[in-house]
Structure 1
Amino acid sequence: MHEIKLGDVTVTRVEEMHGPIMAPGAFFPELPADAWQEHRDLLVPDHLGADDLVHAAMQTWLLRSEGRTILVDTGVGNDKTRPSVPMWDHLDRDFLDRLATAGVRPEDVDLVVNTHLHADHVGWNTRLVDGQWVPTFPNATYLMPRADYQPRTAGDAFEDSVVPIHESGQARFWEDAYVIDANLRLEAAPGHTPGSAVIKLSSGDDRALFAGDLLHTPLQLLHPEHNSCFCEDPAAARVSRRRLLGWAADAGALVLPAHFSGHSAFEVAHRGDAFAVTEWAAFPRY
């Protein structure tokens, strides 16, 4: 089952796709090359393939909390023009069918949370209908970090996956922190982008951290000082990563990053000035 229960919240993993992304040295230019070899047992095959490329997943966390259906991040999306990332260009994936298998139709979604506004987190915000980009989830409020709501480069996700949500009146912008319900709270985690955020879950005895792009590989637990090449403010990203992984370790929280393949989520502990996986989640491996 791609579903677990955390207190009163049901968490379902809905995959868009997974596989090789890019070479380690390109993805994490500051990480020592020998670290990838030293920790192959931790990384291979789920996070580093036999092809010596970093592997990752595009996935959505589907939450059912207090009677509402909530999506955390929406992947790359279909039909999007992404010439700078050929593997994302004009996709034709069965994501909505997978969502239906989890028991959710687009009209059932009450809330969409974009942890930040990069292209691989907002793609299914919209879909192409008669040549127009329209909200995929017509009854949902879309929570977006205000700090990320700004035009970036021409042809990126802003125009096709973010602006139509604003124009439809479905966007709600927030800053610093936002209480979703009694179980879920958004918290700013700047660095990867100015508005990057995480969701903290606290329900019964369970704690969880929906970590967005706080980290992209388990190697960043052992080397939390190192960022991906996509972190826009490296210093702030380091601070956010250490702070939130420290919270997760202290709280016994399950960490659910946006892009981990394999079991996708893990529990973490302090290891000196770094961190380590203590147990992987009960999700089956991709």
Structure 2
Amino acid sequence: MIKIGRYEIHRIEEVVVREHKSLFADWDEARVEPIKDWFVGDYYDTADDSFATSIHTWLVKGPDLTILIDTGSGNTKDRPLSPRFAGLDTPYLERLKAAGVAPEDVDYVLLTHLHIDHVGWNTVLSDGKWVPTFPNATYVMTRTDREAKDPLIGAKEKPAGAVLPFVDSVKPLLEQATVKLVEGDEQNFLPGIDFIKTPGHAVGQMAIRLRDEGEEALFIADVMHQPIQVYNPEWSSKFCEDGVLARETRKSILSYAAENGCLILPAHFGGTHCGYIEKTAEGYAYRPSDVMP
């Protein structure tokens, strides 16, 4: 657990998958050498050229608020285009309860974007119907991403398999839950919590900034998938909807994090899963957190 002022941050793991280095079209093995002392092992396996990719939720517990940031892939979901996320059966809710939170305790679910591995636990199957997992929560998402992923609006040309995450994990919220659509740049949306637009990986992606008692954390979602991108910010992943824009967003976030000394909490890093950005003569460096949330 990590403390930011009066807030506690916990990482609720769903599953860890392996991702081949082809995740980055610009991959250069030589770029591993300068950071291999800490990068190889906890983050990257040279035996099969793969990354440890954690799929997790950030749980933020405040004095009067319980917040989830993203909800992973979900159980028993049909994912014909992404078999690794299909039919999962993980003890995610049990892990959440171990952190002291039952589904009915959640006040807000903040969705940084609506990709397959960020929305799955929004819903669970009950009597053959997808229903909201967190019945008392307000679900928050950007209007831009909501419209872009909707098969009736921005995703009309997408195949049926590609829009299933929206159909089974977002649409039921719009029909059955309390949903707040935002622009993604709201200030003080909740006490100490701001939104920052971070488009590129997803057209409507936003980061979540938490500030309290002089301390700051920045939940950066998929602005970066792996810490090697700190050293190579021009590398965008194959999952980025707009790789060029994602690159510019990444550089902006790196600059901000280095200047403000805030803790960054990405959605998929291995190792201690979060850390700090430092400015160097060559660009930026990553310093993993000493504490694992």
Question: Which of 123, 134, 138 pairs up with 1:126?
Answer: 123
Deviation at 1:19, TM superposition (A): 3.5
Aligned to 1:59: 56
Conserved? CA contact 2:135–2:177, under 8 Å: no
Unaligned runs of 5+ in 1: none
The corresponding residue for 2:261 is 252
- Measure the CA separation in 2 of the matches of 1:108 and 1:271: 43
* Counterpart secondary structure, 1:84: coil
Deviation at 1:40, TM superposition (A): 2.7
The residue that corresponds to 1:29 in the other structure is: 25
Letter in 2 for 1:84: L
State whether residues 140 and 170 of structure 1, in contact with CA within 8 Å, keep that contact through their aligned partners in structure 2: yes
Which consecutive segments of 4 or more residues in structure 1 shift more than 6 A? none
Task: Give yes or no for the alignment of 1:140 onto 2:137.
Answer: yes
How far, CA to CA, are the matches of 1:170 and 1:43 in structure 2? Answer: 41
State the distance in 2 between where 1:243 and 1:272 align.
17
How many residues matched? 280
Considering only aligned residues, what root-mean-square deviation do their CA atoms show, in Å? 1.5
- The reply to whether residue 241 of structure 1 matches residue 238 of structure 2 is no
- Name the stretch that deviates more: 185-194 or 145-154: 145-154
The separation in 2 between residues aligned to 1:234 and 1:66, in whole angstroms, is: 39
Within the candidate set 225, 234, 237, 1:225 is matched to 234
Match of 2:66 in 1: 69
Mapped contact 1:264–1:281 kept (Cα < 8 A): no
Which among 171, 174, 181 is matched to residue 173 of structure 1? 181
User: Does residue 82 of structure 1 match 2:79?
Assistant: yes
C-alpha separation in 1, matches of 2:184 and 2:80? 33
1:16 is matched with which residue? 14
Equivalent residue, structure 2, for 1:108? 105
Instruction: Spell out, residue by residue over 1:217-257, the C-alpha distance to the aligned partner (whole angstroms, 9 max, x if none).
Output: 11100001110011111121111111111111111100100
Out of 37, 41, 60, the position equivalent to 1:41 is: 37
Q: Structure 2 CA distance, aligned partners of 1:247 and 1:198?
A: 12
Q: Is the 8 A contact 2:140 2:182 kept in 1?
A: yes
Amino acid at match of 1:167: E
After TM superposition, give the deviation of residue 275 of structure 1 in Å. 1.2
Inter-partner Cα distance in structure 1 for 2:36 and 2:48: 13
1:194 matched to 2:169: no
Task: Specify every segment of 5 or more residues in structure 2 that has no aligned partner in the other structure, as ranges.
Answer: none
- Contact 2:6-2:62 within 8 A present in 1 as well: yes
Deviation string, structure 1 residues 12-45 (Cα, Å, up to 9, x no partner): 111111141x210x20012323324554323221
Letter in 2 for 1:206: E
Correspondent of 1:208 among 205, 214, 217: 217
Counterpart secondary structure, 2:72: coil
Kindly provide the amino acid, as one letter, of the partner of residue 291 in structure 2.
Answer: A
Partner Cα distance (1:158, 1:279) in 2: 34
Contact kept, 8 Å, 1:65 with 1:183, in 2: the verdict is: no
Structure 1 residue aligned with 2:171, among 140, 163, 168?
163
CA contact (8 A) 1:224 1:274 kept: no
Letter in 1 for 2:130: W
The Cα shift of 1:189 comes to 0.6
Determine the C-alpha separation between the residues in 2 that align with 1:204 and 1:115: 24
The TM-score with structure 1 as length reference comes to 0.93
Q: Identity over the aligned pairs, expressed in percent? A: 41
Structure 1 residue 194: Cα displacement: 0.7
Please say if residues 267 and 281 of structure 1, whose CA atoms lie closer than 8 Å, have aligned partners that are also in contact.
no
Q: Determine the C-alpha separation between the residues in 2 that align with 1:38 and 1:83.
A: 39
